[in-house]
Structure 1
């Protein structure tokens, strides 16, 4: 009689994700990936250049023409025109009040001195003296650098958009906090807003509302609405159950519980949602200018088209300064409200007296700015032009020094990665690329990736922009590879050296705050209008998030595990490659996912600087109504490409045991379905 030998069960750590049974189990995934690529290359060598479905920049298919006609029927709607007129009336009245001359007056109703005084008083009223000084310095900088009117226009569009976002978003936040069914429905809509690239729904909005301030406000509203709904809803829903039960025992109604308990206790989170909404609205400044929206985006976009680094740098930095001012003001207001709610802070009676006394000089400044021309229109200065000239000279020196290096780097990436990969992806017959991508998706993401990959590829094929989509996928993959190289190098460095973390983290935070168009200007000056310029800009845009994710993942590796490796005599290199990076595999996968999505978000902007493909199709469709269908199809192709990549990488993260879905809500800031990156 024989006795079967039972192998001991493998120990599973609490909370770990059990490894799924996959058809590739037993053979490393990288072997399958190389096998698929080898087979793809073999078939490609015999079929390249056939059935690529290539379409030139100004060509469109019958499907695109029909889609343009269908989209065009939504125009000339009295409802949308009424909304546009209403928004226009608000913007025009505010601009005439504090920004632009109101004939027959050669100046606004309230001049720059009065506006600065009122803004400074508001800064002190909601926060403190430090914020008041920051506000005053910011407003003075607007005038000293020669962009007073554009800066005030930017603030008007931003604050009007945020006002609408609060009116619409806060009730929705309450709704999703109180109803799980409503949460599912509303979240689906928010995911759609955050998934679709801004330029895509820009086409719809332009068709419905025309161009100008109303369109800028509506696009900014669509972009800025999700943060206040998601964050405020989370804060209201996450109030301590013990506090709710204690007050429920007193017999309060649902409305009383909401008004007297949940909203007051979630005040800090609600203000955080408002903060993120303001920064999201501000980050739309340059895109809004593309449709003739008022603000600082206009001079930045004008400088971008002229490749004038200095002329774009000054207003770009003023956008950043505006973001810092609004961010610090709302943050300080949140902290002060928290102190007051806890009974701290200065004496309320004394503060009211001080605020009342300060209204006197504010009123004098407002009155004086109505009658003195120098207090009404900001005196002309040469600060802006001088700074632009210095910046151009500085950039010219850098360009002359780095021109050779930049050219060699561009050639290395183009000939070493871009061209070979594009030839494989875009020059393969569509059916070969489709099969290769599907097989790679299954190997990387497992069975969960099959359905979304098949559906996305099928719809992309139906949209008649297959070749352009493959070109974009190629640039996205190359840019993501560069992002992950930076992510691993700097992420590991930050995780192992606290001093490096303290030095780099503010720079990474700043990189995530600056609007993409701002740092596109120096990149364009250095590399010229090419697809490599778009890739560099995408890398700069995506790298901060990837670096921080890798750093946090490596830092989270158990110190006991690291110490055990050291006790065996491991070198630093072995410690990093054999212990820390393998143990942080889930964070690496998540960082790759985020890198891909951040890079993909730059596709349309890249189309403005020579990247072509889908980005150019979207921009061209936006500028030419008869090509609106093609632009819309290009935008939807970007969305589908992002969804496919996101689902594959999420599934890969789950297979790696990273618990990516559980963490994604806290670390994802601009994903296909996650929170947007602020600013």
Structure 2
């Protein structure tokens, strides 16, 4: 009825406007249609203009800047929470019956393994199993699962740990990594299987995994140290949180992608759900699951080194001490040991994955039976040799205590220090020019815009950007994250960290676009560059600080350089895969029309792979943020510096914990904005 009445009223109105000529559209309609199509870029432009105007007029006012030792009521409250936790350890049922048994169990397991392999227990001058037994045992286990080449690689790398002078720390790192990955496997495999077999479980658990992967690793340290105390337990729980999501996701992917035809055949033969899982899905997904273990192990190794900040044992300790004393030579040697360990673990688990895939395809037959039978015999003989080596290393001091010669670590550290000093002296002008130029042209202006704008203006800008790029959901999450950052009392420091992150991300994206497009368009280039990128991805984030510190000293720019090196590999590979994923039919059609290479890239391949480019920016941004925060150890400032200060100064614990919360909110906000933007572009 209302529609009919409205039509009658419109018909009764006098025709005051001249009729629109046929074939033409009224200006108002044109404007409305234009705004509907272009409201996102128009909103973004309006936000930027408003931002610049407010910054020019109100610069330096209401920035919520906080002095280094100044604390807010929230920081004082968090300090009191820390004191309450310390007091509750002796009289709280939760601590007594849940937290403390977990802590004691993990600490007891790590101590037992240390006494067994790396540290002398009470009453003995050396561990129960000496270095010779450890080397032979690791070589035998590697041969059993990964083959001869991996065995030789492991034997050489483990011996180098000792020759570098870091035998105990290296074995401690392996212990922490293996314990964390073992617990991840116990938790992650059932979780991944459940998610693969239940859409509801996958829908409920996926956001939790997203959050675990989004949070920068520094954000875990303070709250877990608050609960589990300083030591191995907190380090391992922190490592589990960081390393669990890749294993769960990849396990789910492997189980879910088993051929539906095979599953239907098993079901038609009367197979139960349990038989289908044990006899079909797990064997067929075995290689994928081993890849998940590989990724979990790489994440665990990376986090195990960072956990040195909460007294986690291992190689992170000498790296941290060297960085704090600016001893580049020692930092390089201990960092090199971490890199060798990462390569060793990565190559071994990759070889194990390939071997499991080959074993699954082996057909029955005489030759097929003789090969595995012969190999089983070699494995048994190797087990006997390993047992003899363990016995000898237990009883003979020469085989128990790692020899002091040859000493490769001290000469290498001295040589590296000399070379670095020569490079710094020789190229000081060039490196200083790079640092000063980028700082003056990018870092300082952007930091001034972000940190010197009134907090409310900056909040409106971030909200407008989120709405324009990601839509309503991204805007809603941005509001919540802004409220959290304001609540921590560290708005200004968060904006400084955001400025450094955005500059490093911009450089990462530009380099990733250039190299990724080149790789995507040229298979030969891809085959050359991709292994290098894979190698860079195996290096734990801690190690990137060493060369950056050597070249640029303890400054903000050092954190940017380290973040750039850490974020480029993943972003470049995503761009290359996006370019390669453009339909060959489209490319051929464009070539047939005489399109040049530049036109092909700018008009066809990049526009059609823009969702992949935005996803590359998302992943690069998260990698950069995590590394910029770690850069607080080498003069990066911002929230990372406050986290480190919270560990080193008791009165700043609350402020450091608040900084970890602010880092989390900043990471979630940036991730959701870029994720929703990538999803929107993908739909488009």
Q: TM-score, normalised by structure 2?
A: 0.88
Of 557-566 and 165-174, the range deviating more from structure 2: 557-566
Q: Is the 8 A contact 1:96 1:102 kept in 2?
A: yes
**1:152-185 deviations in whole A, cap 9, x for unaligned?**
1111111111111122222222322232233233
Matches of 2:547 and 2:232, distance apart in 1: 28
Of 380, 386, 393, the match for 2:411:
386
Of 223, 232, 243, the match for 1:224:
243
Task: State the Cα distance separating 1:133 from its structure 2 match.
Answer: 1.5
2:395 paired with 1:371: yes
| Aligned counterpart, 1:362 | 386
Task: State the Cα distance separating 1:226 from its structure 2 match.
Answer: 1.6
Q: How does 1:137-286 map to 2 (within 5 A)?
A: 137-286=156-305
Matches of 2:293 and 2:666, distance apart in 1: 31
2:334 paired with 1:309: no
2:436 paired with 1:417: no
Task: State the Cα distance separating 1:35 from its structure 2 match.
Answer: 4.1
Aligned partner of residue 427 in structure 2, secondary structure = helix
**1:171-212 deviations in whole A, cap 9, x for unaligned?**
222322232233233333323322322222211221122212
Q: Is the 8 A contact 2:563 2:627 kept in 1?
A: yes
| Aligned counterpart, 1:526 | 551
Aligned partner of residue 230 in structure 2, secondary structure = coil
2:375 paired with 1:351: yes
Matches of 2:593 and 2:196, distance apart in 1: 52
**1:412-443 deviations in whole A, cap 9, x for unaligned?**
11111111221121111111111222223323
CA RMSD of aligned residues (A): 2.6
Of 419, 422, 426, the match for 2:451:
426
2:630 paired with 1:605: yes
> When you count helix as a share of all residues, which structure comes out higher?
2
Matches of 1:446 and 1:23, distance apart in 2: 19
Matches of 1:405 and 1:529, distance apart in 2: 17
Matches of 2:385 and 2:129, distance apart in 1: 15
**1:615-651 deviations in whole A, cap 9, x for unaligned?**
1222222334443333232222222222222222233
Of 139-148 and 336-345, the range deviating more from structure 2: 336-345
Matches of 1:153 and 1:180, distance apart in 2: 40
Of 206-215 and 26-35, the range deviating more from structure 2: 26-35
| Aligned counterpart, 1:669 | none
**1:200-240 deviations in whole A, cap 9, x for unaligned?**
22112211222122222221122112222221123223322
Matches of 2:224 and 2:524, distance apart in 1: 47
2:530 paired with 1:508: no
Q: Is the 8 A contact 1:96 1:108 kept in 2?
A: yes
Task: State the Cα distance separating 1:260 from its structure 2 match.
Answer: 2.2
| Aligned counterpart, 2:148 | 129
Task: State the Cα distance separating 1:27 from its structure 2 match.
Answer: 4.3
2:637 paired with 1:618: no
**Larger Rg over CA atoms:** 2
2:88 paired with 1:74: no
Of 217-226 and 239-248, the range deviating more from structure 2: 239-248
2:130 paired with 1:111: yes
Task: State the Cα distance separating 1:521 from its structure 2 match.
Answer: 0.8
Matches of 2:683 and 2:560, distance apart in 1: 29
Task: State the Cα distance separating 1:523 from its structure 2 match.
Answer: 0.4
Q: Is the 8 A contact 1:154 1:294 kept in 2?
A: yes
Q: Is the 8 A contact 1:307 1:521 kept in 2?
A: no
Of 131-140 and 238-247, the range deviating more from structure 2: 238-247
| Aligned counterpart, 1:399 | 424
Task: State the Cα distance separating 1:587 from its structure 2 match.
Answer: 2.5
Matches of 1:443 and 1:596, distance apart in 2: 19
Q: Which runs of 5+ in 1 are unaligned?
A: 8-20, 660-679
Q: Which runs of 5+ in 2 are unaligned?
A: 1-19, 26-31, 90-94
Q: Is the 8 A contact 2:130 2:394 kept in 1?
A: yes
2:677 paired with 1:652: yes
| Aligned counterpart, 2:9 | none
